[in-house]
Amino acid sequence: MNLIINSSDAIGDANGTIRIALTQKNLADSPGVMDTFGSIIAPGAYVRLEVADSGCGMEEETRNRIFEPFFTTKFTGRGLGMSAIRGIVTSHDARLQCSSTPGVGTMFTISFPVPDPLEEIVMAPEQVMSYQQTGGTVLLVDDEEILRSMGESLLEALGFSAIVAQHGAEALELYRSHGSEIDIVLLDLIMPVMGGIETYHELRRVAPLLPIIICSGYDEVSLEEAIIDDPCAGFVHKPYNPKELQSLIIRMMRDCGTPTSGIR
Ligand SMILES: Nc1ncnc2c1ncn2[C@@H]1O[C@H](COP(=O)(O)OP(=O)(O)OP(=O)(O)O)[C@@H](O)[C@H]1O
Ligand SMILES: [Mg+2]
């Protein structure tokens, strides 16, 4: 979003083009190729996000400073968009490249390394319990479609059945109609219609012992004491670490005594 807003700002009131592309690319070994931050771009599989615009472009002087916090050339700019991008890129161990020509435009390419799916999701047998050892149905509540479908696949790969809802109100409705099939709830915090906290309280009214895991993409989440003290409530960060998510789900289902927990 920060890249696209910057592209839109660079085009200003004139007509222009912003091209956004997502591609898969296998980079061959090209020794010494570095990204903007001086990190080597290792050979391997990447998903590449490109945002290119036909805006004002940047002089080298500007281009060298765009990642400095608070550096801005805009009247109302805060100079924080590119710093945030740097943080996101680093946290994904991705590589960012930028090319820009004054009067012509700018292109940012971010290459996200693709983890080996077998290593990341299925993992070593001793690290992950088999399907037979897990089992159970997870109600996954998230407003983002992509996170619902990825979460569903991940949960299934970890040995659970998943049903999904796009907000709290839908989750409550599903719980009312299918409560006896739901062993645990994975609940996003920020959602339209009915957010995570309200959904938590509504679910608690009907199911005092139902395991509920609250998840959020934000680092600092201050949860109410009632939730922190609730032995049947847990918390995970998004994006999920598959192994941690799996053991938390298993632990909570065990400790909260499903499938007989809750008033259904
Ligand atoms: N696509 C682009 N085309 C031209 N200049 C750009 C582009 N992207 C970034 N810049 C330059 O980098 C500077 C820093 O960008 P950054 O997104 O960090 O801050 P900002 O856009 O000025 O303010 P904000 O914090 O609101 O995003 C911009 O002020 C602009 O000079
Ligand atoms: Mg910006």
Strand partners, 216: 237
For a pLDDT cut of 90, what percent of the chain falls above it? 52
Per-residue pLDDT at 134 exceeds 70: no
81 C-alpha to ligand 2 centroid (Å): 4
Ligand 1: does its nearest atom lie under 6 Å from the Cβ of 82? yes
Ligand 1, atom nearest to 78 Cα: 25
Which bound ligand lies closest to the C-alpha atom of 103?
Answer: 1
Predicted confidence at residue 54, as pLDDT, reads 98
Q: Is 257 in the pocket of ligand 1 (CB under 6 A)?
A: no
- Angstrom distance (rounded) from CA 37 to CA 211: 44
Question: Distance, CA 163 to ligand 1 centroid (Å)?
Answer: 41
Average pLDDT of the segment spanning 21-27: 91
- What pTM, to 2 d.p., does this model score? 0.56
Over residues 164-186, the pLDDT tens digits come to 999 999 999 999 998 889 999 99
Q: Is the CB of 99 under 6 A from ligand 1?
A: no
CA 6 to centroid of ligand 2, rounded, Å: 5
Query: Ligand 1, from 2, 3, 5, 6: best to mutate by most atoms within 8 Å of Cβ?
Result: 6
User: By alpha-carbon position, which residue is closest to atom 28 of ligand 1?
Assistant: 72
**Confidence band for 257, pLDDT divided at 50, 70 and 90:** low
Can you read off the two tokens belonging to residue 154? 């991940």
Q: How confident is the model at residue 239 (pLDDT cuts 50, 70, 90)?
A: confident
Average pLDDT over residues 203-211: 93
Average pLDDT, the chain: 86
Residue identifier of the C-alpha nearest atom 17 of ligand 1: 81
Q: How far is the CA of 26 from the centre of ligand 1 (A)?
A: 30
Residues β-bridged to residue 19:
52
pLDDT over 60 at 133, yes or no: no
- Taken in order of first residue, the domains within the chain and their CATH numbers are 2-113 (3.30.565.10), 117-255 (3.40.50.2300)
Is residue 84 lining ligand 1, measured as CB closer than 6 Å? Answer: no
pLDDT value of position 163: 93
Say yes or no to pLDDT of 143 above 70: yes
pLDDT band at 139 (very low <50, low <70, confident <90, very high): very high
pLDDT of residue 135: 82
Residue 2 clears pLDDT 60, i.e. is over it: yes
74 Cβ closer than 6 Å to some ligand 1 atom: yes
Distances (CA, A) of 93 to 42, 54, 110, 228: 11, 28, 10, 32
Give the list of residues 6+ apart from residue 111 with CB closer than 8 angstroms, or none. 25, 27, 35, 41, 46, 47, 48, 94, 95, 96, 97
Please tell me the distance between residue 239's alpha carbon and the centre of ligand 2 in angstroms.
24
User: Which of 96, 102, 95, 87 is closest to 53 using CA atoms?
Assistant: 102
Cβ atoms of residues 216 and 204 within 8 Å: no
Question: What local confidence, expressed as pLDDT, does residue 238 receive?
Answer: 80
Q: What is the pLDDT of residues 106-130, one digit of tens each?
A: 999 999 998 766 455 545 545 555 5
Q: Is any atom of ligand 1 closer than 6 Å to the C-beta of 78?
A: yes
Structure confidence by residue, pLDDT tens digits, 148-160: 988 888 888 888 8
pLDDT in tens, 25-69: 888 877 778 899 998 899 999 999 999 999 999 999 999 999 998
Which pLDDT score, from 0 to 100, does residue 219 have? 59
Distance 218 CA to ligand 2 centre (A): 20
Is the CB of 62 inside a 6 Å radius of any atom of ligand 1? yes
Whether the pLDDT of residue 10 is over 90: the answer is yes
Confidence class of residue 131 from pLDDT cuts 50, 70 and 90?
very low
Supply the pLDDT for residue 232. 93
The backbone torsions φ and ψ at residue 70, rounded to the nearest 5 degrees and listed phi first, read: 70, 5
